[in-house]
Amino acid sequence: MKRNRYGQSGFSLLELLMAMAVFAIAAVSLAQAINLISLTVVESIDDGELRERLRGELLAASRDPFIKAETRLTPPNGDGIFFRIETTKMNAENRQGISLEDLYEVRVTALRQLTGEAEEELDSASTASFSGIF
Q: What percent of the chain has pLDDT over 70?
A: 91
Is 2 a member of any domain?
A: no
Q: Contact 9/1 with Cβ under 8 angstroms?
A: yes
- Backbone φ, ψ for residue 92 (5° rounding): -135, 155
111: Cα within 13 Å, side-chain hemisphere: 19
Is 106 a member of any domain?
A: yes
89 forms beta bridges with 104
- What is the number of domains present in the chain? 1
**Binned average pLDDT, 10 residues per bin, the chain of 134 residues:** 61 89 96 95 91 92 87 87 92 82 90 83 90 66
Is 124 a member of any domain?
A: yes
pLDDT digits (tens, 9 = 90+) for 56-76: 999 998 888 888 889 999 988
Domain containing residue 81: 11-133
